[in-house]
Structure formats: C-alpha cells, structure tokens
Structure 1
Amino acid sequence: MVPIRFGAQTAIAVWSLLVVAVAPPALADWPRFRGPNGSGVAADDAPTPTEFGEQKNLRWKVELPGEGVSCPIVVGDKVLVTTYSGYGAAGGTQVDLVRHLLCLDAETGRELWKKEIEAVLPEDAYSGMGIPSHGYASHTPVSDGERVFAFFGKSGVKAFDLEGNELWERSVGTDSDPRRWGSSSSPVVVDGVVVIVAGPEKRAIVGLDAKSGSELWTADSESLGNVWGTPVTAPGDGGKTDVVLGTPGEIWGINPATGKIRWYAGAVGEDGFNTSVVVADGVVYAVEGRSGGSIAVRTGGKGDVGQSHLVWNGRDANRFGTPLVYRGRVWFVSNRIANCLDAKTGEKIFQSRLPSEGGGAFGRGADYSSPVAADGKIYYVTGNGEVHVLKAADALESLAVNSLAAEGESFAATPAISDGAIYIRSSRHLWCFSEEGR
C-alpha cells in the first residue's frame, strides 16, 4: 500500500494555540496507555511483587460494572478505568449500550465515583472478528494530572476533573473502519492539546484544547482508517516535541501545535498498523505484524528521514502487542514466544517460548496485552489469565507464572504499575497486587 500523508492532501485548520499550564503527573503516575509516554516502564524504582494471586500479595480486587479491554491508569491516589455494558457478549441491543468511567481509591479499591456515557448510535455490530474480541471500551483514558480524558469512538471524547465533574465533550466523527472492527487508539495529552487518532471515526487525527475541548486542528488521511496504535511523544529539532505515530507503511513525526507532519520514515506494515511505536533515548522503535517488520529510526529531522535517520531494520513480527524497550533491549511477545533484541543493533539475543501453567487458547488473536517492566522484571499477561514474570536478562528466565484464570473471564488489557503496585484488568475484574498485600 502506498502511504497517504495528510500533509499532501488536506489543509490543516489551525491558526493559534493556547498552551494550558497544568500540574505535571507525579513521578509514580501511570497516566496513559502503557504508562509514562507509552513506554511500558514504571517511572519509579519501588519493588514490585513477583508471585501473586488470590491468596498472595493481593491488596484488593473489585468487580467491574461491565466488560472492556482498556487499561487502567493511575493518577495520584486514584485508579481510573473504562467499561461498557448493556450490549455485547451478554446480549442486549445497541440502544442498551452504556459506557462507564470508574474512579477507584488506589489504596483500597473503594469506588470514588462513576460516570455513565450514553452511546451515539448506530455502533458497529457485535459480530465478526473485530468487535467481539474487544467490545466497546478499548481506548485507555489519559490524564494531565488535573483532568481525565476518555475517548469512546463514535460516542466522542469526554473530559472530567479528578473529582468526577464533567468539563466538556466533543464528537470526533461517527464513521467506521473498512472492516468494522471498531477503534482502539487511545488519547494522549501534549502541551495542553488532547490528541485523538480518530482513524475509523473520521480518517483523521484531531487536536483538542484540553481546557475547553474546542477543536484546534484536524489532519485527514484515508490511511488512518487502518491505524490501531496510540501515539507517543519524542524530542524533535530545536527542543521541540513531536507526536509520533505508526501508520501503514510509514512512521510520522507530527507537530502537536498544528497537526502538520515534520518528518516521516518508510517503515513496516501493509494495509494497517496494529501496534504502537515506542521511543527511548531519541530513537523510535516499531515491530509490526502480518508480514512482519521491525525498525528503529532516530527522531527529529525534516521531511523524509527514512535513510538519514535509520538505525536498523529487521523482519521481526509482533501482531498485536506493543514492544518494550528496557535496559538496552527490545522485548516483545508474539504467539507466546518471547523475543529479545539488542536496542542498538536490532540483533536477536534470544527467542524462547513462554512456560505455561495451564494451557489455554494459543490461536490467532488469543493475546492482545503488551509487556511492561519494573524492578528489573518484565510482566506479560496472556489471554487466558497467565501473568508471566520474567527477569530482564539476555536469556529467558521465568521468575513466576501467576494464574488469575477463571471460567468465562478473558484478559486483553496491559497492566499498569505505580509505586510498587501492579494493576491487572480482566473482562470482569480489576486486581491490585503489591508486596505489602492486604
């Protein structure tokens, strides 16, 4: 597929931008999809548990008011997560569909507040391959430390303060992707701009003012209809910040103030881009699926930097999960095979199958979670509820396999880690584990 860059196709509707100053997230916060800047790496050095379960190192467990695959976020002493109910695996009709934004006390799991969001209809039907695998709560919310922003696809973007007061709402389109699989890209906040990848809904990336919800810019491209990953930020030229996103055939570096492309590099992916990119030490890493392909590109530059900024490329494949860059290594798990690459060269260090405690579904689409890291350990959750804890080493060293499996319960969300606690979400429950336990 020939990449379609929006900079060459549509005018960007933006004339001025007011940068809103807010309190930065606390050091231990996990404020967005895959934590600090989507890295999947805990921002603090607190020790995290290795072995845990219903009878060990459990701080709390709560039943959720619905299903979903979005990830929990942690902001100060609060945990926030989205769910949906009324329509889906349990039956019902689209008119019964409701989304929920739930806020819990991080220490106790006590519910602090809950908001219900009515659906904008019609939604994509609960049928086929896509929607049944993730439902209608697949976008992870994001916080700037004072507010939380939740994206619900066709039902738009909602902003609340951390006490649960609604601040604004904004539609970003009601279209569908070509396959009607629904969307999954989570929002990010950059310099007072809420960046929404509304690929299926609008074939566009949209920049909203974090304070008011007003639309600052829209950047259109047909190729965005097949983008499922979440952007990250990266250092650009002259101290500027770029928003970086993987798209079919290319990686884009975007100006968050205008939506215009600053740089791009030919990359992996065919007619879609399933995973999110990762930035570490000024380098963007991507590992895509289907036909495979891995790449590392230095950030910054202007225009086509595919040759001038290329660090390495390879043929590694990773269909759904986002890679993890940790302690000089690139980690990813595909079909329950753990892969470890040298971050500087892309050289394969090892490839080994994960041990299994209880079998489960190993087929196509079984695992959607991405690895995360803290305290020298890597955590990975399989679709049937096995939580693998690996030592961050140059050979596969399994420290524990913790089973949370239960009949009728599925696991697709990536864990959150904050202040020594790990938060794991299933289709029905949210757990918090820490070395202190109860």
Structure 2
Amino acid sequence: MNNLMTLLASPLTYIVRMTFAVLLVSLLTNCQQLVPTVERSENWPQSAGPNGSWKVTTDQPIPHEFSVRTGQNIIWTMDLLEVGQGGITIWGDHIFLTVMKPLYEVPEKKERQTHTILALCIDAKSQEILWQREIVGTTKSPYFYGFSDSTTPAPVTDGEKVWFFNASGKIVCYDFAGNPLWERAWKPVDHIGKTHYPFNKQFEPILHGDLLINMESYMSEDGTREYGWNYLYGLDKITGEVRWISEDGVTHYCTPVFNTTADGVPAMLIGRGAHHKVPEAPMGYSLVDLRNGTTLWRYETDEGMAMYNATWTPKKALWFTERENVIHQVDAQTGELIDKISLVDQVTVHTYDTTTQQYTRLENHHFSDTSFVFPAWYSNIIVDDKCYFMCFKPTRGYRMANAVPEYSFARVDLKTQKVEYLEVPVQYDLVNDEKQYLWKQDLKTETKNIRELDVAFDKRSQRDGWVWNFNGNPIVINNKLFYTTMSGMVYCFDTSADAFDENALLSVSDLGPKGKTWTLNAPSYADGKLYHRTSKQLICVGK
C-alpha cells in the first residue's frame, strides 16, 4: 500500500495522470458532439419543430383539449396587430412571428394586398411586444388569402439570432435585441411570359447546422438553372451568402421535408407539378443532399401533384394524388416505386349517423367507381408506420362533387396497407358550457381583423377549411396529433389507438367563437404549452 501511494505521488505519475485526465475530457467532449440531438420540447425553433419533422417528444403534460370560448386550459391570449398565417417560433421567453402590414380602414379590393410584413418579438411572460421591424418585399400578396400570404414562412432561430422571412422576397437576420445583422432579397416569380402564378408560397425554411435552407426563384438567364423556376438555396446563416443552389427545381406549392437517409445523409425531399401551369418539371420528387445541393435520386410520375408535404422516412417516401385514388410508396434509398396503396378499395369507414347519434362502421368497403378520395393539401404526416391526412369534402365546383368521404380524416397503415376513415364533427355550439356537435354542415367563417375590419381580398377565404384551401400543417406531440382548420377548430387524435375510430378522436377544441374565427396556422409546442394564432389573437394553451 505504501509503495503504491509513493508511486502515485511521483512527478512522472502526476504527469501521466494529468495527461489521462485531459484525454478523458477531450474524449467525452467529442462523444457529446457525436451523439444525435435529442428532440427537445423546451423550444420550437422553426415551423417544423426542433428536428424539422413537425414531431416532438416531451415529459411535460400535453394540453390537448382547450377552448378560447370558455377559457378552458387557456393561459393567456394577446391581440395581434393584423392578420397573418405563419408559424410561431419560440425560444425561452421569446416568441417570434410575423403579421401583415396593419390596415386601419377597408380599402378598395385591389389595395387589399401588400408586400410588407411586421416581424414581431414578443415577451411570453408579459405578452408585450419587445420590438417590431418592417420587412418590405417586392411581390404583393392578398390579405386573408385562404392559401398563403407574405407571412406564410415561420421565423427560424438558433437561440442567438432569428431569421425572419417575407415570402414576398426578403430575409432579414436579427439578434435577439432586434438589431439587423444581414438581409437578402430576391424576386418571387409571378409571371413568365403570359402565364400568371397566384401567390402560393408553401415553403418552410429549415435551419440545419450553419445552413439556412430557403426557396427562391432563379431569375437569371445564365444557362445554369431554368429561368423562373424555384430552387432550394443553401445560405450561410452568419452571412447570408449562397453556398449552393439545388440541382433540381421545386414547385412553390410543395412543402419540402427534412430527414436523414439510411446512410446518415441530411436531405430534403422536394416535389414538382401543381395547378396553374407551374413550370418546374418533370413531375415527381427529388431528394436533395443538404451538404452540397446535389440530387441523390429522382422519381417521375404522371399521377398526382406536389401540393403536399413531401413526407418521407429513411425507408419510404410518399407521393400523393388528388383524383387517382392512390398513394405511391417510393423507396427512399433509390427513388424507385415500391407499390401503390388504394384509397378506395377494401377500406374501413366510420361515419356518424345523425338520426341514431351513433357511429356506424363499414368494413371492406369499396367506394363507387365515380367517386374519388381527395387528400387535403399539406395535411399528410407520417407517424411511426402510419400516414394520416385530412379529406376534402364533396362540393359543387372545383371538380369535387364526387369526393368521398365527407368531413373525415384518414389513417393508412404503410405495412399492411389498411386504410381507415373517420368522420368528425364540423363545429359545435356551446349550450350551458356543454358542447353540442354539428355534423355534415357547410359552414362559413368571417374574415375580420382585430379592428373588426373585413379586409379579405378573396371571398373563398370564408370557407370552413374543408374544401380547396391550405390549412396549417399538423404537428405531433408524443402520441397526440393536432389538426387545425381555417374556421379555428382543432382536432386531436391518439396515434397509438389500435383502430382509427371514434375512440381515436381525443378532443375537438376551438380557437374562438363559431363563425368568427379564422386561421391558417400550424401550432407550436414548447415547455408544456401549445401556441396558436388566429387572424385576431395569439393564444397560449396549457394546464
């Protein structure tokens, strides 16, 4: 024992021990850098959440049922300066979002458009605006547009800086005190020759490492890219300089989705093909390597359109169709078609009988040959081995009279290919604080800002969110899936349910009064609270 103590106390041994300690600290530091980032619920740094998937796990209680009408599980509400529809970004006590340039009177219809937005930094504790900045673009978007507007992209933050996006053609980087650090402008395409493209910008920016991924129109005729097409731009988050531009174009209707390939390559899936003669071709998918913008594979098809979230896992990518009644399963490693899942054959349908006030279940059902299932745009999301989406309802016009089923959500098992549909209530009335659900009713919602001014450019924006509009993306918290419709109804489903029946519907909540609430927002979650917004208010939900 004494000899051992003497040895340990010797200068040579001391040097060895110190060297070992330094090596150990270095090893532990490197190991920490190699460990994948854990999905954190304390912050929501971008529209797609902490890991770009619109999904998060948490040990905090999840406020899945709430009501602005009654105050149930509402921590606070805050009036907003003007309508907007972009996502809510949260870091600590800082809330970042954008609104359209405020209107204080109802102008002529042609003036109900703007290229200017306000970037807001809000204190979550006091609900005070810490600072606001005006961001001016070039291409005007309508107010209360039921599809998208200049505020559609959510801000992005890394906890030190925040990047605000004006879909009308401007990015500005600020520090948390609101000091501008850099800005970048581009010209969104609205015309090529005589072809006009409506203002439909569905891209959501992604922060990956030190890269800020944006979608921009390529307006140079230098031969390296197609003039007027949209591409992914990999920008240096510190300087705004372009590091790469994707090889392939992306239709501005498509929402590219981030993930990592089976080989560990960070990538985004982008799509081409949509309404209004979008120029990007050929129709289908490209998987883009985020390290350099090169294309890993391409998938081409003559069915469907890229007006969906480009959902994929390291194994499969899903391509959606509007009228062909199938979902394409594509190999995410090769881009080759695996198979097509029928949305109309041998399906299970849960419908609500308003006479008996009970659900009926149809097994192995086949919809008529003249009917078709129209998955609602941007409603598709993969949770584990199942894909969920909302169904557009049947309606006159817009080639949708034969759409089925009505007022329903769907769950598709990607392994067994079992397809289930569940009808849900459209709205509810409150009678003595009790919900009286409304079924199978074509309802409308008003388009007024916080000053009770109806400044909507397009009357189609007064729909209920079940037909021909762009609702906000769904999000998943643990096993709870949240969908929001334009009329301010929030549906929560249990993704762990064995059957996609009435027991899988956990709750139907509201963001405000019936017929007077309007939103196109995707909710955000942070530190036990759910954040949402309408045309009038910012809303904090929690226990």
- Shorter-normalised TM-score: what interval? 0.7 to 0.9
Q: Which residue of 2 aligns with 1:322?
A: 379
- Deviation of 1:61 after TM superposition, in Å, equals 0.8
Q: What is the distance in 2 between the residues matched to 1:125 and 1:40?
A: 26
CA distances 1:331-368 after superposition (whole Å, capped 9, x unpaired): 111233110111334431x1011123335345532561
Q: Which residue of 2 aligns with 1:411?
A: 519
CA distances 1:188-210 after superposition (whole Å, capped 9, x unpaired): 12232211122598522222111
The 8 Å contact of residues 268 and 290 in structure 2, kept in 1 or not, is answered as yes
- Deviation of 1:284 after TM superposition, in Å, equals 2.9
Q: Find 1:297's aligned residue among 314, 330, 338.
A: 330
Query: Does the C-alpha gap of structure 1 residues 428 and 389 become closer, same or farther in structure 2, counting only changes over 3 Å?
Result: same
Query: Does the C-alpha gap of structure 1 residues 26 and 167 become closer, same or farther in structure 2, counting only changes over 3 Å?
Result: farther
Q: What is the distance in 2 between the residues matched to 1:424 and 1:119?
A: 25
The 8 Å contact of residues 422 and 433 in structure 1, kept in 2 or not, is answered as yes
The aligned amino acid for 1:306 is E
Q: Which has the higher contact order (CA 8 A, sep 6+)?
A: 1
The 8 Å contact of residues 255 and 262 in structure 1, kept in 2 or not, is answered as yes
Query: Does the C-alpha gap of structure 1 residues 401 and 314 become closer, same or farther in structure 2, counting only changes over 3 Å?
Result: same
Structure 2 counterparts to residues 6-17 of structure 1, below 5 A: none
CA distances 1:146-205 after superposition (whole Å, capped 9, x unpaired): 322222123322222233221211123242164322422121122322111225985222
The 8 Å contact of residues 113 and 142 in structure 2, kept in 1 or not, is answered as no
The 8 Å contact of residues 531 and 541 in structure 2, kept in 1 or not, is answered as yes
The aligned amino acid for 1:372 is I
Structure 2 counterparts to residues 266-345 of structure 1, below 5 A: 266=300, 270=304, 272-280=305-313, 282-289=315-322, 291=324, 293-301=326-334, 305-307=335-337, 310=338, 313-315=341-343, 317-335=374-392, 336-345=407-416
Q: What is the distance in 1 between the residues matched to 2:183 and 2:67?
A: 39
Q: Which residue of 2 aligns with 1:80?
A: 96
Structure 2: gaps (5+ residues) = 1-36, 220-227, 274-282, 344-372, 393-406, 429-440, 445-463
- Deviation of 1:261 after TM superposition, in Å, equals 0.8
* TM-score, structure 2 as length reference: 0.66
- Deviation of 1:434 after TM superposition, in Å, equals 0.6
Q: What is the distance in 1 between the residues matched to 2:114 and 2:427?
A: 38
- Is structure 2 residue 66 aligned with structure 1 residue 52? yes
Q: What is the distance in 1 between the residues matched to 2:412 and 2:146?
A: 33
- Is structure 2 residue 241 aligned with structure 1 residue 214? yes
The 8 Å contact of residues 283 and 296 in structure 1, kept in 2 or not, is answered as yes
Aligned residues: 400
Question: Does the residue aligned with 2:142 lie in a helix, a strand or coil?
Answer: coil
- Deviation of 1:94 after TM superposition, in Å, equals 7.6
The aligned amino acid for 2:286 is W
> Aligned-pair RMSD on alpha carbons?
3.2
Q: Find 2:487's aligned residue among 354, 359, 384.
A: 384
Structure 1: gaps (5+ residues) = 1-23
Query: Does the C-alpha gap of structure 1 residues 107 and 330 become closer, same or farther in structure 2, counting only changes over 3 Å?
Result: farther
The 8 Å contact of residues 325 and 343 in structure 1, kept in 2 or not, is answered as no
* TM-score, structure 1 as length reference: 0.80
Q: Which residue of 2 aligns with 1:426?
A: 534
Structure 2 counterparts to residues 112-151 of structure 1, below 5 A: 112-120=130-138, 123-124=139-140, 126=142, 131=145, 133-151=147-165
CA distances 1:274-314 after superposition (whole Å, capped 9, x unpaired): 2212234543334353555423334334xxx314xx36544
Query: Does the C-alpha gap of structure 1 residues 268 and 322 become closer, same or farther in structure 2, counting only changes over 3 Å?
Result: farther
Q: Which residue of 2 aligns with 1:165?
A: 179
% identical aligned pairs: 20
The 8 Å contact of residues 86 and 97 in structure 1, kept in 2 or not, is answered as no
Q: Find 2:84's aligned residue among 57, 68, 71.
A: 68
Q: What is the distance in 1 between the residues matched to 2:242 and 2:467?
A: 39
- Deviation of 1:87 after TM superposition, in Å, equals 6.3
Choose 353-362 or 189-198, whichever is displaced more: 353-362
The aligned amino acid for 2:179 is N
Q: What is the distance in 2 between the residues matched to 1:104 and 1:47?
A: 24
- Deviation of 1:432 after TM superposition, in Å, equals 0.8
Q: What is the distance in 1 between the residues matched to 2:50 and 2:414?
A: 19
- Deviation of 1:48 after TM superposition, in Å, equals 0.9
Question: Does the residue aligned with 2:56 lie in a helix, a strand or coil?
Answer: coil
Task: Look at both structures and tell me which one has the larger radius of gyration over its CA atoms.
Answer: 2
Q: What is the distance in 2 between the residues matched to 1:200 and 1:292?
A: 34
- Is structure 2 residue 109 aligned with structure 1 residue 109? no
Q: Find 2:425's aligned residue among 333, 352, 355.
A: 355
Question: Does the residue aligned with 2:168 lie in a helix, a strand or coil?
Answer: helix
